[in-house]
């Protein structure tokens, strides 16, 4: 809306100075800008979402609907072995994946942003370097890291052995204890540039007077950060949290590239995206469409719901700042 | 981040899109095309998941067109991983294929149950001469009708490096103990005895490894029939013992096997760092492509002590079949094509051009190794039962088993618990005696 108001101001001025242009109602201008996006959004997001909801309530035989199923697909998904176990396991892994990523990516991202803000040397280069990984598709990143971590031919273990850390040369992606943390680390590595950029922008937007005032009042560097900088970063933290949450609960490409469709080893990296992929495509049973649509709907409802709650929470915090 | 979110959304919704786009637009076939210059000539569209076989099929189909001058066949391959969805969509609209390569067993059922294929019973006479085991793969599970002409089958056995065996003074083993002794000897010489992968891309090969070492141990065809009839379950001590074999053999697999991928073990075997490769027929052509000078031998695993089945077994299954689109505008011509695909002429061309085992009766492969595999299967073949019989419902038995085997190798479960999970999984939909 802000943009719209700014847009219309010069136009009105133009009309007043009599530039000879006919008055165009505001809604038409808006429509011209909004319709293409709305159309694409409807065709590629809204329509499939609604049809997934529709599909999840029918019984399927291949691609033939054979009748209304009510909540049967949902019941199957929550009640049939092994989905009943895999669903909650995958959900827990998504939660860990999100928690781990937030912890590492946000703190490291904030640290980088603060360091770059304070010591400006090489800022452009470093900002570019830190953000490069997220220009690459998660599938590619996952594949690269699985090559690097390969226990037989991978350079990571070769390097560890070369410097005498033989006991550290573990089968990183083949051990149920290390696989998920490694995937989390790689994910954080890939996305760390994103919070860094947002925090950098937010830091640049905090007036220098605030810090000066804090210093005059005798605040230590930590107190100034804790009481002045951090609260003012709330909007950026909110955006980072919500987007990371959405991305992490929809995670697929990276995990698929590093752990295959079964969340190898022994399901220790299984996430909801992989479970969906298996139910929908890998096993390919006659009921696949109904059950996978039901899972897609559950995922959407959860992600959408939590995102709305989180957004409203952060908005309330922001309002307190003003 | 936004991109990832969009990618996630697209992934989540892919199935919806795949199912709601009749005709598939860009992938439309040429079934109602027809050659304008050559009036009366019919163009058939043939769909397949074998992108790598285009040249071979062009050659094979040219032979067909010589004897059937009124028919032109267009071979259209699609990415194997996308094929099932593309085909299901194509068959539902007007731009679909006339004849299509079909998956076998459980993979065929979604198309059968959606009435998308033409039953071939009574229409292709030569099918009566086909091996009954292989025909099962082309049948509707519920109605028992035949929906395709089987084109190939796969057999499972151990490939070995002849030179490494010779260098270490090892003969193809005649008993289980001989095989273990050979493995020990190879390991002591710094060679990986068995090229087995259990990494993220390799879970589907684990039930294959189990079949190769354990089929005789659980009792082969007799056990399978007993499970189908309800007299036995997968929790049977014989089946559990067969699962345990995989764990017992782990010392002879590559180190950290749960992190090892398929290309890794293929490289190990092709470069002479691993001596034996328990795998299917399908791996022979790629291995020889990697190193044509590789001297490969083949043996059937000797039954381990305590096996109900005392002669070595070669497990196998039908790879797929060629069927006719129920909505094809040129059904008569399409039937001509699948009829020809049931003739020895096609079978021989197929075996020679593609280095695969043809399902057409009476065809002998020209490659001596393939011929040996075919002979073993004919003499004492057995179904790879979890694939052949237990992929008709969700969760499919094979999928549960692959996860359990990987868990077992990762030290997260034992043979009994793994067998119990398989039984629990199939019980969700399988009723014995049907």
Residue boundaries of the structural domains of chain A: 87-321
Nearest to B5 among A61, A247, A299 (CB): A247
Contact at CB, B12 and A52, closer than 8 angstroms: yes
CA pair distance A267, B342, nearest whole angstrom:
43
Q: What are the tens digits of pLDDT across the range B19-67?
A: 343 333 333 344 444 444 456 889 999 999 998 889 999 999 999 999 9
Q: Which residues of A touch B203 (CB under 8 A)?
A: 260, 262, 264
Q: How many CB atoms lie under 10 A from the CB of residue B219?
A: 23
- Tokens representing B193 are 């005895």
A283 in contact with B at a CB cutoff of 8 Å? yes
Q: Which residues of B touch A78 (CB under 8 A)?
A: none
In Å, what is the CA distance from B223 to each residue of A178, B168, B316, B383?
39, 37, 15, 10
pLDDT band at A9 (very low <50, low <70, confident <90, very high): very low
HSE-CB at A318 with a 13 A cutoff on CA atoms is 13
Is 0.90 surpassed by the pTM of this model?
no
pLDDT value of position A20: 53
CA pair distance A196, A204, nearest whole angstrom:
12
Q: How many CB atoms lie under 10 A from the CB of residue A214?
A: 18
Set out the domains of chain B in order of their start, with CATH numbers. Answer: 25-150+319-374 (3.40.190.10), 155-316+383-426 (3.40.190.10)
Q: What are the tens digits of pLDDT across the range A97-109?
A: 999 999 999 999 9
- Tokens representing A204 are 């640049």
pLDDT value of position B377: 94
CA pair distance A201, A131, nearest whole angstrom:
14
Q: What are phi and psi of B200, to 5 degrees?
A: -55, -35
CA pair distance B146, B164, nearest whole angstrom:
45
Q: What are the tens digits of pLDDT across the range B156-211?
A: 999 999 999 999 999 999 999 999 999 999 999 999 999 999 999 898 999 999 99
A52 in contact with B at a CB cutoff of 8 Å? yes
CB B189 within 8 A of CB B168: yes
Domain A87-321's class? mainly alpha
The pairing of beta strand B274-280 with beta strand A58-61: unpaired
Q: How far is A205 from chain B (nearest CA, A)?
A: 22
Q: What are the tens digits of pLDDT across the range B90-122?
A: 998 888 999 999 999 999 999 999 999 999 999
| Mean pLDDT, rounded, of chain B | 89
B113 in contact with A at a CB cutoff of 8 Å? yes
In Å, what is the CA distance from A8 to each residue of A25, A31, A37, A177?
10, 14, 20, 58
Is the complex ipTM more than 0.90? Answer: no
Q: In chain B, positions 39-98, which contact chain A (CB-CB < 8 Å)?
A: 84-85, 88-89, 92
Nearest to A176 among B107, B399, B410 (CB): B410
Q: What are the tens digits of pLDDT across the range A216-266?
A: 999 898 998 998 999 999 999 999 999 999 999 999 999 999 999 999 899
**Sequence-distant contacts of A299-305: CB under 8 A, at least 24 apart:** A299/A249, A299/A250, A299/A272, A299/B12, A300/A49, A300/A52, A300/B12, A302/A249, A303/A245, A303/A246, A303/A249, A303/A250
pLDDT value of position B299: 97
> Would you say residue A17 has pLDDT above 80?
no
HSE-CB at B37 with a 13 A cutoff on CA atoms is 1
pLDDT value of position B24: 33
In chain B, count H helices and then E strands.
18, 10
Which of B388, B317, B339, B366 has its CA nearest to residue B129? B339
Which residues pair with residue A253 across a beta bridge? none
Q: What percent of chain B has pLDDT over 70?
A: 91
- Report the SS3 class of residue B369: helix
CB B418 within 8 A of CB B245: no
Least confident of A16-30, B159-173, B303-317, B318-332: A16-30
Q: What are the tens digits of pLDDT across the range A281-312?
A: 887 678 889 999 999 999 999 999 999 999 99
Q: C-alpha dihedral over A134, A139, A142, A148, to 10 degrees?
A: -100
Which of B22, B141, B44, B144 has its CA nearest to residue B88? B22
| Mean pLDDT, rounded, of chain A | 89
- Report the SS3 class of residue A64: strand
Q: Which residues of A touch B114 (CB under 8 A)?
A: 61-64
pLDDT band at B9 (very low <50, low <70, confident <90, very high): very low
- Report the SS3 class of residue B365: coil
Q: Which residues of A touch B424 (CB under 8 A)?
A: 81-82
Contact at CB, A278 and B407, closer than 8 angstroms: no
- Report the SS3 class of residue A319: helix
In Å, what is the CA distance from A180 to each residue of A15, A176, A183, B200, B201?
61, 8, 5, 13, 17
Q: What percent of chain B has pLDDT over 90?
A: 79
- Report the SS3 class of residue B73: strand
> Would you say residue B338 has pLDDT above 60?
yes
CB B162 within 8 A of CB B122: no
Q: What are the tens digits of pLDDT across the range A155-207?
A: 999 999 999 888 888 889 989 999 999 999 999 999 999 999 999 999 999 99
Contact at CB, A80 and B201, closer than 8 angstroms: no
The alpha carbon of residue A18 and the mean position of all alpha carbons in its chain are separated, in whole angstroms, by 49
What would the mean pLDDT of B334-357 be, rounded to a whole number?
94
Q: Which residues of B touch A176 (CB under 8 A)?
A: 410, 412
pLDDT band at A95 (very low <50, low <70, confident <90, very high): very high
What is the length of chain B? 434
CB A80 within 8 A of CB A167: no
- Tokens representing A194 are 């994103």
Contact at CB, B410 and A194, closer than 8 angstroms: no
CA pair distance A121, B140, nearest whole angstrom:
70
> Would you say residue A2 has pLDDT above 60?
no
Question: For chain B, first and last CA: distance in Å?
Answer: 51
CA pair distance B76, B101, nearest whole angstrom:
10
The pairing of beta strand A58-61 with beta strand B42-48: unpaired
């Amino acid at each position: 809306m802000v943009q719209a108001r700014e847009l219309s101001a010069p136009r009105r001025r133009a009309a007043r100075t009599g530039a000879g242009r006919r008055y165009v109602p505001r809604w038409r201008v808006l429509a011209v800008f909004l319709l293409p996006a709305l159309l694409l959004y409807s065709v590629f997001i809204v329509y499939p979402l609604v049809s997934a909801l529709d599909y999840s309530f029918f019984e399927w035989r291949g691609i033939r609907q054979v009748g209304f199923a009510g909540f049967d697909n949902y019941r199957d998904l929550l009640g049939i072995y092994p989905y009943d176990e895999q669903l909650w396991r995958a959900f827990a892994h998504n939660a860990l994946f999100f928690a781990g990523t937030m912890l590492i990516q946000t703190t490291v991202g904030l640290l980088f942003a603060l360091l770059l803000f304070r010591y400006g040397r090489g800022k452009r280069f470093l900002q570019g370097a830190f953000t490069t990984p997220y220009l690459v598709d998660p599938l590619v990143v996952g594949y690269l890291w699985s090559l690097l971590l390969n226990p037989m031919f991978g350079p990571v273990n070769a390097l560890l052995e070369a410097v005498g850390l033989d006991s550290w040369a573990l089968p990183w992606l083949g051990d149920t204890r290390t696989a998920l943390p490694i995937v989390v680390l790689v994910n954080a590595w890939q996305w760390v540039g994103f919070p860094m950029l947002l925090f950098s922008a937010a830091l640049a937007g905090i007036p220098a007077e605030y810090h000066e005032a804090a210093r005059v009042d005798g605040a230590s560097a930590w107190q100034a950060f804790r009481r002045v900088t951090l609260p003012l970063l709330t909007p950026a933290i909110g955006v980072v949290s919500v987007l990371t949450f959405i991305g992490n609960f929809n995670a697929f490409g990276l995990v698929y590239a590093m752990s295959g469709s079964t969340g190898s080893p022994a399901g220790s990296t299984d996430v909801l995206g992989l479970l969906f992929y298996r139910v929908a495509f890998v096993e390919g049973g006659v009921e696949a469409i109904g059950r996978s649509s039901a899972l897609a709907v559950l995922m959407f409802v959860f992600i959408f719901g939590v995102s709305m709650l989180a957004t409203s929470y952060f908005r309330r915090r922001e309002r307190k700042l003003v | 981040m936004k991109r990832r979110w969009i990618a996630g959304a697209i992934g989540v919704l892919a199935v919806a899109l795949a199912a709601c786009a009749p005709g598939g637009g860009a992938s439309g076939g040429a079934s109602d095309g027809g050659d304008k210059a050559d009036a009366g000539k019919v163009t058939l569209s043939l769909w397949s998941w074998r992108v790598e076989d285009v040249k071979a099929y062009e050659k094979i189909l040219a032979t067909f067109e010589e004897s059937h001058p009124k028919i032109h066949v267009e071979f259209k391959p699609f990415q194997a991983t996308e094929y099932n969805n593309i085909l299901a969509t194509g068959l539902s609209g007007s731009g679909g294929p006339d004849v299509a390569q079909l998956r076998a067993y459980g993979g065929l059922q979604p198309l059968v149950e959606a009435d998308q294929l033409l039953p071939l019973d009574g229409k292709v006479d030569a099918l009566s001469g086909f091996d009954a085991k292989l025909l099962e793969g082309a049948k509707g599970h519920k109605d028992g009708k035949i929906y395709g002409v089987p084109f190939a089958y796969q057999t499972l056995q151990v490939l070995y490096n002849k030179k490494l065996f010779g260098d270490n003074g090892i003969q193809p083993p005649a008993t289980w103990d001989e095989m273990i002794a050979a493995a020990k000897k190879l390991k002591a010489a710094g060679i990986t005895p068995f090229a087995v992968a259990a990494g993220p891309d390799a879970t589907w090969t684990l039930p294959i490894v189990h079949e190769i070492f354990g089929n005789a141990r659980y009792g082969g065809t007799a056990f399978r029939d007993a499970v189908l009839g309800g007299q036995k379950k997968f929790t049977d001590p014989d089946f559990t013992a067969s699962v345990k074999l995989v764990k017992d053999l782990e010392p002879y697999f590559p180190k950290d096997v749960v992190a090892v991928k398929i290309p890794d073990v293929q490289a190990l075997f092709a470069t002479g760092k691993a001596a034996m490769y328990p795998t299917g027929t399908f791996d022979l052509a790629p291995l020889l492509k990697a190193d044509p000078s590789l001297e490969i031998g083949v043996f059937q695993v000797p039954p381990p002590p305590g096996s109900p089945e005392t002669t070595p077994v070669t497990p196998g299954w039908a790879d797929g079949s060629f069927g006719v689109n129920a909505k094809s505008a040129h059904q008569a011509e399409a039937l001509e094509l699948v009829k020809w695909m049931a003739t020895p002429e096609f079978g021989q061309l197929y075996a020679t051009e593609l280095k695969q085992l043809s399902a057409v009766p009476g065809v002998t492969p020209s490659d001596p190794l393939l011929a040996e595999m075919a002979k073993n299967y004919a003499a004492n073949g057995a179904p790879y039962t979890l694939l052949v019989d237990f992929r008709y419902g969700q969760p499919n038995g094979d999928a549960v088993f692959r996860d359990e085997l990987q868990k077992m190798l990762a030290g997260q479960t034992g043979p009994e618990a793994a067998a119990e999970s398989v039984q629990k999984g199939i019980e969700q939909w399988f009723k014995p005696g049907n």
